[in-house]
Every structure is written in structure tokens, then in C-alpha cells.
Amino acid sequence: MTVIVDGMGGDHAPIEILKGCAAAVEELGIDVIVTGPEDLLKKTMEENQIPEKGITLRHAEQVITMEDEAGCVLKAKRNSSMGLAMDLLKNGEGDAMVSAGNSGAVLAGGTLIVKRIPNVKRAAFAPILPNKTGYFMLVDSGANEVCTPEYLDQFGALGALYMKHAGFAAEPRVGLLNNGTEDCKGPELHQQAHALLRDNPAVNFVGNVEGRQIFDGVCDVLVADGFSGNILLKSVEGTASYMTKIMKESLTSNWFSTLLAALLKPQLKKMKAKLDYTEVGGAVLLGISKPIIKAHGSSNAKAFKNAIRQAAAFAESGAVETMTQLLSAPKAEPAGK
Amino acid sequence: MTVIVDGMGGDHAPIEILKGCAAAVEELGIDVIVTGPEDLLKKTMEENQIPEKGITLRHAEQVITMEDEAGCVLKAKRNSSMGLAMDLLKNGEGDAMVSAGNSGAVLAGGTLIVKRIPNVKRAAFAPILPNKTGYFMLVDSGANEVCTPEYLDQFGALGALYMKHAGFAAEPRVGLLNNGTEDCKGPELHQQAHALLRDNPAVNFVGNVEGRQIFDGVCDVLVADGFSGNILLKSVEGTASYMTKIMKESLTSNWFSTLLAALLKPQLKKMKAKLDYTEVGGAVLLGISKPIIKAHGSSNAKAFKNAIRQAAAFAESGAVETMTQLLSAPKAEPAGK
């Protein structure tokens, strides 16, 4: 199993990436190809005594920044760490790919270099988040800010297949993010998507899900249009960060509570781990013909290791093959649709 | 100052409402009119030794439930605790109104019985939430699931006037909830609303705001379409409740940590208070010609007292008068717009 890693994506490139790759080799037995400026990668490995074992470097001169336009990965910056990683994946030199770089470029490269599974309407970002009973997938978290009911229907079917193959649920329950739980809720887009999901034989649809229920374990796949999904994901991040700050302030407001809080460190650490969604890896780029994982921009070595593990498991699971099969099956629908 | 309170709205009606009213009379010197089935209200007051001082009961036979259609407040259930409260407010028998009942009915009654301020396009629900530096208003949190750029522009102007009159900010900063901070971000609705808000002389516009920034104190008014605003508000609630649960579990996972957590109770209480948005009151029904506050359905006596205080302050502030003035002023725009 070989995972290709964009060596220059994210806030802590390349050092945390290389450390994460070395950990993946050492702890998980996964081979890694890292793309990027070879001199810089080599130097970073030497200076930080990162073992070379299992890591192959592939030279790419350019780097895609967060400010770059998404499309640059296709032409102007094709010879970048991300562009090369996409080409290697497309050409079968590795089984899966991880990047923590520019999301728009990951989406553009995935869609137009690696390409979608036939009949997939749109690729979507699908992070996996913890909840009270385990984990759920949010799809789409921001790839498509304008959606059609058909996109949402497909997000549900593909998300369910991923969650099943990844071992999260035998028969994943699919919910639709909406502004109320009643069937008739939401704008037209959501009402139509609700009807399609309900009638889709490939989807175990459990109906509309409100924002306040998302952590209750009511579904394994939460379908959202990319705009609302993005608002949801980021407001969860914002709220968690705000609460953590308030908790820290409250617990260290005097010497006595600071002392008590120090004694509670193991419990607080356990709590943090339960909220840490990089434990699972990154966001799946759902609908692409090869496994691509988008790691969080702020990923550290451990998050990269987990994203590499997730990418390898994605490739091993055969999920892409099952998705391809599902979408190539003739549907009981009027011809020409 | 007299505040009219829907005596039968919310999960804990009428007992928590009546307790909250008595506290408002006692602690804040506000007179209260409570609507609802008089026998039930009287009996509840007697059984719970709630003092009658400053509380006037007004009989209404019917009760609007959460399952009722919004429109029932206008005709079929006009003689309900909420319908009567709206009529009393319209007729000037009180200065402001509070209800914790069916949101749709509050919106319908506010819009069609009490009526909007002239030239207000749509009324909006606008809760006030805590952040790292104080408070901000979210408008709209769910009254209008489909919006036009003009609605969003007006939400910004009216929200700013409220926050100024309520003393939260001298020159309120208005932000637009979007899926990125760059000016060009979002679907067409958001791009057009961005341009209108930027060019609106009545708005101190600070640009797009992402979900992860909402608690950072980057704006005093956060404008949102009602669908995204609803997703945001409910996901904040869901995340806060999930984190509180995890924290409790982590802190009570063994006898030693349970003991330490008990000693930290004052700090944990302080933390809870910082997150408790009922401290400020409820959501403003923004754009209506008289002050209406929608209290949270789960409001307890303290939350009702705070909502009554907020309603009275809203009436005293003259905010509705300033909003009316702003919207009646001729605009430097092509005639007929």
C-alpha cells in the first residue's frame, strides 16, 4: 500500500508532513511518496533526523499557496507538489493521496486531473466528525456552494457507501441538514432533496436533521448543501474553540482552581481527544475515482499520520469500486434522464 | 412601563412565566399583563404563592401549541394567549410584548396583527449571543428561509440600530455570515448583499464573517439569510450541549476527579453563565412597529424575567422610532425603486 502525500500543503509544511509520513511508515507499515522541492524536503529530513525508510521523494518545483486560484493546479502550477501528487495518483504510482493544501485546488485537481467516478455529478468534501455514539460524515462541507436536489441525493448514497466500507456502520443512516425535522421543512432545494433521498433505494434515509441534533448520533451521514455544510462545520469549530477558551479561563481564574485543574489534566486531555476530529484523519474528497483525503490546513504530524492511515484504508476498502458499480447500474428511470 | 406576556407560551407555561413576571415586578419595577386561561393562571399563582402585585391577568381561552399552524393566531386562535397579547400590544395597552410560544405564530402575529414598520421588507428573528468581548446579534436566525439581497441589507441596518439603542455598541459593526472572508465569496445572494451592505450609509460594514469567527468579537451584528442563520444558531446550541456533556463525563469518570470537579463548582458555574444567552433575554422580532421579544421555548423563570427586562428596555430605548425614521427618509436612489 502506497500513499502519495503533497509535501507542501498546510500551515506546517513540510516538517510536520514528513514527521507524519515517517510515523505512518514506522507505525502503520504504509509506504509513502512525498512530493515537493527535493532539496527542501531532504534538508528538512536531515535536520530533524526523520528516517528515510519507506519514504520516496518526488521533485516538484512549485508550491500552491492558500492565495492561489484553484485552477492553477491544472496548468500554471501543474508542476507543484499538489499537481505532481495528483498526476502520480492518476497514473497509478500510488493507491491514495493526501493533501492539506488549498481546498479549491484539491477539488479542481481531483475533479479534472484524477477525475470523478463516471456519473458522479459533483465531488464533495466530506469530513468525519465525532458524536455521542461514534462518528458521522458531513457531506458536503463546502465544495459546492450551490447545489441541486440531485447532487444532495448522490451525496447521501456515496456517503453511505463510504461509511459502510470504512466500517463505521453496517447500514448507514442518512439524514438531511435542514432548519427543522418535519418532512416539509426548508427551501425548495431541501424539500426536493428530501423526496429524492426518501425514494432512493440505495439510501437508508432517516429524514431531516437540525443543527442541534448533529452530535446526538441520529445519523451516520449528514447531507448538506455546501454552503450550509460549511457554515455548520465552521460554527462547530468556532463554538468548540470559544468554549475551550472559556473553560481554560474559568479553571485558571485563581491559584486554587488552577491547582485543581492541573490535577484534572488526564480528564481534560481525554475530553480534548473526544473532540479531536483529526483522530479519524481528514475530509474525504467524495466522488473521485481514486481515494483522496483533504487534511486540515493546521494538521500536525499526528493528524498527517491519521490522514495517511485513512487514505490507505479508503483504498483497501474497495469503496470507490462499489461507488462506481452503484452509479453504472441502469436505473429504473425514464431513458435520457 | 408595562410589558404584555403570553402566559401560555413555551415548555414551562404557565408556572415559570408567572414566576418570571413576579420577579420582573419585584426586582425591576416593571408592570406585567399576563394573558391566558384566567382560572389556570390564578390557580397556578395561588398554589405557588406567586405575589399578585403588579401582575394583571387578561383572559384568553385558547392556547397555541407548537404543532399549530402559524396562521392560526390570526383567526382560528385569535382568542388565544398569544393572539390576545398581540391585540393588546397593537392597541397600546402595554409598551412591549414577550412570548416563548410557537415561533411561526409569533412571526405571523407580529407581522399581520401588530404590523411591520413602514418599508420594512421582512421581519426577522434576532437573538443576542455572547462572544469573547461581549455580545452580538444574529439576524435572521430563521424567520425567512429564502431571502433577497435587499432583506439582508435591511437586517444589517435595523440590527445596527437595535444594538446601538440597547447600548451594546456606539457604532455597531455589521458582518455578513458567509463561507469565507474574501469579498467575492458565497452564492449570488451573498455577493449582492455584500455590495448593498458595503454601500449602505446606515451600516458600518466590516465584510464577510465565517462561522469559526463568530465568537471572536469581529462584529456586533451578524447578518444571515434565515436558513443559514438557523443552521448556525442550532449548531452552536448542539455543539455547546455536546461539549458540556463530554466535560461532565470526563470530570466525573472516577471518584477523585468527581471530588475535584465538585471543588471547581464555582468556576464551572461561572463558565456556564458566560455561555447562557438567556442572560440577555430572548430574540428580538426585528422590524415590527412595537417591541416584541421571542423568548426561548425552554425558558425558565429567570429567562422570562430577563426577556421582560429586555422588552421594557427595547420600548424605552426609542429604537423602533429611530428605525421608522430611517426607513421613511427618502433615499438617494432612482424614483420608483
Is B335 within the bounds of a domain?
no
Q: Do B135 and B211 share a domain, yes or no?
A: yes
Partner-chain contact B214 A232, CB within 8 Å: no
- Identify whether residues A134 and A182 lie together within a single domain: yes
pLDDT of residue A246: 84
> What mean pLDDT comes out for the span A52-78?
96
Please state whether beta strands B124-126 and B283-286 pair in parallel, antiparallel, or not at all (unpaired): antiparallel
Average pLDDT, integer, range A320-329:
94
pLDDT tens by residue, A6-26:
999 999 999 999 999 999 999
* Residue A282, domain member (yes or no): no
Inside any domain, residue A336: no
Q: How far is B159 from chain A (nearest CA, A)?
A: 21
Kindly state whether residue A138 falls inside one of the protein's structural domains: yes
Mutation site, A250, A253, A255, interface B, largest B CB count within 10 A: A250
At A336 the pLDDT is 40
DSSP string, A76-98: TTTTBHHHHHHHHHHTTSSSEEE
CB pairs < 8 Å spanning A and B: 158
Weakly modelled stretches of chain B, pLDDT under 50: 334-337
Shared domain for A182 and A230, answered yes or no, is yes
Question: Taking CB atoms and an 8 Å limit, are B132 and A274 in contact across chains?
Answer: no
CATH of the domain at B146: 3.40.718.10
Residues A80 and A169 in one domain: no
- Best residue of A133, A212, A216 to probe chain B, by most B CBs closer than 10 Å: A212
Beta-carbon contacts of residue A89 (< 8 Å; ≥ 6 apart) = A4, A96, A97, A114, A290, A292
d(CA B245, CA A217): 14
In a domain, B184, yes or no: yes
Nearest-CA residue of chain A relative to B216? A242
Domain final residue pick, B239, B259, B277: B277
Which chain A residue is nearest to residue B224, measuring alpha carbons?
A231
Q: What is the distance in angstroms between the Cα of B87 and the nearest Cα belonging to chain A?
A: 29
Dihedral of the alpha carbons of B61, B64, B69, B71, in degrees to the nearest 10:
60
What is the pLDDT, as a whole number, of residue B250?
A: 79
Q: Rounded CA gap, A250 and B3, in Å? A: 36
Q: What does the alpha-carbon distance between residue A163 and residue A286 come to, in Å, rounded to a whole number?
A: 11
Asked if residue A59 has pLDDT above 60, the reply is: yes
What's the CA gap between A4 and A293, in Å, rounded?
10
Integer CA distances (angstroms), B141 to B86, B127, B144, in order: 21, 7, 8
The alpha-carbon gap from B53 to the nearest alpha carbon of chain A, in Å, equals: 39
pLDDT at residue A264, as a whole number:
79
Domain edge (last residue) among B238, B256, B277: B277
- Check if the beta carbon of residue A118 is closer than 8 Å to that of residue A324: yes
pLDDT score of A335: 41
What are the pLDDT digits (tens) for A260-306?
Answer: 778 878 877 777 777 777 788 899 999 999 999 999 999 999 999 99
| pLDDT digit string, tens, across residues A81-137 | 999 999 999 999 999 999 999 999 999 999 999 999 999 999 999 999 999 999 999
> What is the reported pLDDT for B171?
97
- B303 and B242 in one domain? no
pTM as predicted = 0.93
Out of A257, A277, A297, a domain closes at A277
- Which residues, in sequence order, are CB contacts of A223 under 8 Å at separation 6+? A139, A140, A152, A155, A156, A159, A174, A175, A176, A177, A193, A197
The ipTM (two decimal places) reads 0.91
* Same domain flag for B150 and B223: yes
Domains identified in chain B, total number: 2
- How far B259 CA sits from the closest chain A CA (Å)? 10
Do A69 and A102 sit in the same domain of this protein? yes
Q: Taking Cα atoms as reference points, which of A107, A8, A114, A102 lies closest to residue A60?
A: A8
* Inside any domain, residue A172: yes
Q: Looking at the structure, do residues B50 and B148 belong to the same domain, yes or no? A: no
Q: Which three cell numbers stand for residue A153?
A: 441525493
Question: Any idea what DSSP says for residue B288?
Answer: B
pLDDT, residue B123, reads 98
* B228 shares a domain with B107: no
Contact residues on chain B for A239, CB-CB shorter than 8 A? 214-215, 235-236, 239-240, 243
Q: Which strand (E) or helix (H) includes residue B183? A: none
B112 and B145 together in one domain: no
Lowest-confidence segment of A124-138, A181-195, A241-255 by average pLDDT: A241-255
The pLDDT, as a whole number, for residue B331 is 60
Q: Which domain holds residue B267?
A: 126-277
Q: Is A248 part of a structural domain of the chain?
A: yes
Q: Which residue in A132, A235, A268 has the most chain B C-beta atoms within 10 A of its own C-beta, making it the best mutation to test that interface?
A: A235
Closest to A211 (Cβ–Cβ): which among B131, B235, B268?
A: B235
Please give the pLDDT value at position B274. 73
Q: What is the pLDDT of residue B266?
A: 80
Residues B99, B137 within the same domain: no
Would you state the pLDDT for residue B204? 98
Query: CB distance A257–B270 less than 8 Å?
Result: no
| H or E segment and range at residue B302 | helix B301-317
Asked if residue B78 is part of any domain, the answer here is yes
The answer to whether residues A94 and A197 belong to one domain is no
Walk across the sheet containing A124-126 and list its strands: A55-59, A31-36, A2-6, A96-99, A292-294, A283-286, A124-126
Taking contacts as CB-CB distances below 8 angstroms, the residues of chain A near B141 are: none
**Contact B174/A215 with Cβ under 8 angstroms?**
no
In percent, the amount of chain A with pLDDT more than 90 equals 84
Chain B residues near residue A237 by CB distance under 8 angstroms: 211-212
